[in-house]
Amino acid sequence: MRLHCTAFLFLALTQLNGVVAQETTPDITSPMARHTEYISDNKVLLTCNATGDPAPTYRWYRDGTIIVSDSITQVDSISGNLTIPSFTNREEGKYQCGAVNTVNPQTNPVAVSPVILVREVSLGANWPAIPIEPIQKNEGAYAQLLCTDVPESVPKAKFSWFLEATTGAKTQVEENDRIHIDDEGTLHFIYLEPSDQTNADLYKCAIYNNILDTIQLGSPKSVTVTAVATKPYMKPKLEYETKPAIFIRSQTAALECVYSGFPLPTVTWQKDGSTISASNKYAFDKDNRKLLIARLDENDEGMYTCVGSNTAGTVQVSIFLDVTSGPIWEKALSDQTVPAGRDAVFYCKSRAAAGEDAIPIPDWYINGNQIDIQNPPGNGKFLFSDAGKVLTVVGLQKPDDIQCFQCNVSNTVGYEFANGCLNIIEPIVITERPPPVQEIAKGDRVNLTVKATTDPGYTLRERWYFKNQTYENNLPPHVIFNTATQEAYIDTSGLTDAEFEEVIGTYYREMYHQYETYTVTIEVKPKGGDGGPAAAAFPWWWIVVVILLLILIIIILLICFCCKRKQDEGSYKVYATEVNAVYLDPDKDLEDHKFHNVARIEPEDDDTFTKKKRPANNAAYEVNDDETDSMDEYRNRRDHSGKYNAGFYGDDARYANAGRYAHQESQA
């Protein structure tokens, strides 16, 4: 038990040994996201926090330019605070925090925060004085009160209406199924009632700034309603619609339509011919006159139909919802820790919303300084590809290449900013490894020792893989690990035959930490026939069988060939020219023409058969001395046995010619 505890303690100490402080680039922890600061008093305080080793110092940028502390703006490089004691709209702009540290005298990586848009909160002090607008309508008629000459408000004001008495008392107009205030501040009376008349009071439009908690009233209206005996029936009439209906992706869209008419029109909404019901995606407000669409995406773009109906008729209007967007990240820069000697790849990939113009080429920065991607610094160290969307830093060296990168992408709708810092560590180096293939016999020792080093800032861990099993906190069967010497091995001398078979196979020993993995492969196999189970021998007998089969096939083919030659020996093979010859069978020819007593023609001494003789009993027959005997063409031919054909020489030849002459005399 004491030995096991000692080994465990030693193993823990060896894992911690050498772990020292690691230089790391700054990592900004706040602000972490782009946002807007509305300043409602004279003092501005922006804070920034970052981690890193060494501890970072701070700087601030306004609209991309480093701020130099002065009486108007002060930057505390230690705390990260930016202070503007007396803020005016002159100091409005886009602010970013920069955190920088020093990993060596020549390397000062700078991380840059997302943008903080700083704006002064404001609301027009007084609504412009304008004359009272009188509105005179019959009871049951539609009326709208426009909110005009509205003062500017930062942030955007919310609209409401009040009925102001001559005493100055104000009563807010409550919206109901007959009274509606649209997003542009217009007050709609779907149809008028006598109670809507102002008499001496006035309707006034109000704007409310929620940060200043201030209301401004203006644009006065008076309303006179003439009573009628019976309100006339009127089918719905479109009085207002959201136009243009352009909304930004991921926000909530609000589509409005207002119908006048009597009786009061009901409103329903459709998309692609189907009625829209309330859900997590869709909600209705103000008696269905407003359709709210949450978490917009490109699929929400399209034509929406607002239908107004009453007993007098039905009317509808189509509203096209255009979903637009600033750049949409596909893959943005992020911090990376990469071993030295490798390459690091940073992505600044974004896209536009469907149907929108493509995103222009990104702007790139190194440590907060903008660079020209067509002519980047570094003599080939920085390579840009994919239309400037991908940056590759090649051949990383520690600590020279420890730095931070930024990119900015923008279009007419908005922009996106991303920061990614590059930390470089020493790679995993294998200092000792066993033979990759080990043939063993029972009684041998299997060497599985793997030793490695890595960056001193990280703890090197290991795991084993053997026969589809993972060994994270334990060892494969029969493996022994000596914590003192860091040796791993298998002693097969004490193993049974079954246990010996268990250790045969391929071992994968993986050395790793959170940023790199290195695997060493060791194949263990038995020596053939030398103790323990022998390795499966190669099936050489199959090769012998195949060779014997080939020899047998060749012998059979030779026998068949010889038999065929033997069968053809002594036979005369008739050629095409012989088949077409006239006197191929002279005996048959004589029999057919019944010339059985033709005298035999004897050859002359010197030129036998060189000239044809005139038959003695036919003086009219002339012999052409130049005529070649019709049988000459068959001379010198051989049959398949290699002998001259006896049918064209000697007595048989003379006999054949004699039969020919006799035939010619009979024709004469």
Task: Give the model confidence (pLDDT) of 40-97 as tens digits.
Answer: 888 999 999 999 999 999 999 999 999 999 999 999 999 999 999 999 989 999 999 9
Domain span at residue 641 reads 576-667
Domain count, the chain: 4
The closest of 345, 480, 359 to 414, measured between CA atoms, is 359
Res. 654 pLDDT band, cuts 50 70 90: very low
User: Do 597 and 643 sit in the same domain of this protein?
Assistant: yes
Q: How many helices (H) and strands (E) would you count in the chain? A: 6, 50
**What residues contact residue 65 under an 8 Å CB cut-off, 6+ apart?**
none
User: Do 387 and 433 sit in the same domain of this protein?
Assistant: no
Mean pLDDT, residues 598-610 taken together:
45
Mean pLDDT, residues 151-175 taken together:
95
Pick from 18-27, 211-220, 538-547, 569-578 the range whose average pLDDT is largest: 211-220
- The single-letter code of the amino acid at 178 is R
Residues 135, 146: Cα–Cα separation, whole Å: 11
- The single-letter code of the amino acid at 371 is I
User: Do 486 and 421 sit in the same domain of this protein?
Assistant: no
Q: Is the pLDDT of residue 598 over 70?
A: no
CATH number of the domain at 360, please.
Answer: 2.60.40.10
According to the model, what pLDDT value does residue 582 have?
47
Q: Which of 425, 458, 488 is the last residue of a domain?
A: 425
**Tens digit of pLDDT for each residue in 244-293?**
999 999 999 999 999 999 999 999 999 988 999 999 999 999 999 999 99
Q: What is the 3-state secondary structure (H, E, C) of 250-290?
A: CCCEEEEEEEEEECCCEEEEEECCEECCCCCCEEEECCCCE
The answer as to whether 168 is a domain residue is: no
User: Do 459 and 502 sit in the same domain of this protein?
Assistant: yes
User: Do 415 and 446 sit in the same domain of this protein?
Assistant: no
User: Do 91 and 29 sit in the same domain of this protein?
Assistant: yes
Give the distance from CA 153 to its chain's centroid: 45
Q: Which of 65, 93, 120 is the last residue of a domain?
A: 120
Q: Which residue has the higher pLDDT, 420 or 663?
A: 420
The answer as to whether 217 is a domain residue is: no
Mean pLDDT, residues 394-414 taken together:
95
According to the model, what pLDDT value does residue 403 have?
95
User: Do 405 and 443 sit in the same domain of this protein?
Assistant: no
Which runs of E-coded beta strand occur in 297-399?
A: 302-310, 313-324, 328-331, 336-339, 344-347, 349-351, 363-366, 369-371, 382-385, 390-393
User: Do 390 and 477 sit in the same domain of this protein?
Assistant: no
Residues 387, 406: Cα–Cα separation, whole Å: 16
571 DSSP assignment: P
Whole-prediction pTM = 0.70
Give the distance from CA 335 to its chain's centroid: 21
Q: Is the pLDDT of residue 24 over 80?
A: yes
What is the signed CA dihedral for 507, 451, 435, 531, rounded to 10 degrees? -60
Q: Which residue has the higher pLDDT, 647 or 443?
A: 443
The answer as to whether 227 is a domain residue is: no
Q: Which residue has the tokens 């026969």?
A: 467
Res. 592 pLDDT band, cuts 50 70 90: low
Name the phi and psi angles at 500, rounded to 5: -60, -40
Q: CB of 410 within 8 A of CB of 327?
A: yes
**Tens digit of pLDDT for each residue in 300-356?**
999 999 999 999 999 999 999 999 999 999 999 999 999 999 999 999 999 999 889
According to the model, what pLDDT value does residue 42 have?
86
According to the model, what pLDDT value does residue 573 have?
54
User: Do 386 and 450 sit in the same domain of this protein?
Assistant: no
Q: Which of 93, 120, 147 is the last residue of a domain?
A: 120
User: Do 27 and 116 sit in the same domain of this protein?
Assistant: yes
Residues 108, 100: Cα–Cα separation, whole Å: 6
Residue 666, CB half-sphere, CA atoms under 13 Å: how many?
A: 15
Residues 258, 273: Cα–Cα separation, whole Å: 20
Residue 188, CB half-sphere, CA atoms under 13 Å: how many?
A: 23
**Tens digit of pLDDT for each residue in 539-568?**
667 788 889 889 999 999 888 888 877 776
CA distances from 389 to 136, 151, 356, 362, 379 (A): 63, 43, 19, 7, 20
Q: Is the pLDDT of residue 103 over 80?
A: yes
Q: Is the dihedral of CA 52, 57, 60, 65 positive or negative?
A: negative
Pairing of strands 214-226, 133-138: parallel
The closest of 459, 417, 345 to 28, measured between CA atoms, is 417
According to the model, what pLDDT value does residue 87 have?
94
User: Do 421 and 435 sit in the same domain of this protein?
Assistant: no
The answer as to whether 210 is a domain residue is: no
Residues 488, 481: Cα–Cα separation, whole Å: 4
The answer as to whether 615 is a domain residue is: yes
The answer as to whether 662 is a domain residue is: yes
Residues 254, 290: Cα–Cα separation, whole Å: 6
Q: CB of 307 within 8 A of CB of 231?
A: no
**What residues contact residue 210 under an 8 Å CB cut-off, 6+ apart?**
155, 158
CA distances from 230 to 141, 262, 306 (A): 12, 11, 29
The closest of 173, 149, 179 to 161, measured between CA atoms, is 173
Percent share of the chain, pLDDT over 90:
72
User: Do 339 and 383 sit in the same domain of this protein?
Assistant: yes
